[in-house]
Amino acid sequence: MSTIETNIFPLLNLEALSSKYNLYKIKGLNQGNQTENDEIYRRVNSLVTDLSYNLQIPVTSIQEGETHFLVVRDDAENVPPFFDDVRNGRLLLEKCNKTYDLNYAERSPNNDKICIKFFQFMLREPLGNDRRLWSPGAGRPFYELNPYPIDNRILQYTGFKPRIVTTHDGGLGVCVDVTHRHTSIKPLPTYLKREDFSRWENRYFIYRYGYKWYQIKAGYLSELNVSETMIKVEDELVSLLDYIGSKTEKPFPAELLNLPPDAAVIGYRNNRKEVREAPAALCYQVFGPHDAIMKKYHQEAILQPDERRPLIHKYVQKHLKNLRFGNTNLKISDQPLTIPARKFVVPDLEFANNHILSVRGTKNSHHVSLDNLI
Domain that holds residue 45: 19-102
- What confidence tens digit (pLDDT) does each residue in 71-85 have? 999 999 889 999 987
**Residue 54 shares a structural domain with residue 196:** no
Cα separation, 241 vs 247, whole angstroms: 10
Predicted local distance difference test score (pLDDT) of residue 235: 87
CA angle 153, 157, 158 (to 5 degrees): 145
Is residue 309 situated within a structural domain? yes
Mean pLDDT computed over 129-147: 92
**Cβ atoms of residues 218 and 205 within 8 Å:** yes
Query: Of 74, 102, 130, at which residue does a domain stop?
Result: 102
In total, the chain counts a number of residues equal to 374
Query: Of the candidates 237, 246, 182, which has an alpha carbon nearest to the alpha carbon of residue 215?
Result: 182
| CA distances (Å), origin 122, targets 38, 51, 116 | 30, 17, 10
Predicted local distance difference test score (pLDDT) of residue 113: 97
Is residue 339 situated within a structural domain? no
- Model-wide pTM > 0.75: yes
Count up the domains in the chain and report the number: 3
Cα separation, 336 vs 8, whole angstroms: 5
- What confidence tens digit (pLDDT) does each residue in 28-70 have? 987 655 457 788 888 999 999 999 999 989 999 999 998 999 9
**Residue 80 shares a structural domain with residue 228:** no
Is residue 81 situated within a structural domain? yes
**Residue 259 shares a structural domain with residue 170:** yes
**Residue 153 shares a structural domain with residue 285:** yes
**Whole-number percent of the chain with pLDDT over 90:** 65
**Residue 362 shares a structural domain with residue 246:** no
Question: What residues form DSSP beta bridges with 360?
Answer: none
Question: What residues form DSSP beta bridges with 237?
Answer: 232
Is residue 30 situated within a structural domain? yes
Query: Of 86, 102, 118, at which residue does a domain stop?
Result: 102
Is residue 338 situated within a structural domain? no
Predicted local distance difference test score (pLDDT) of residue 177: 95
Is residue 191 situated within a structural domain? yes
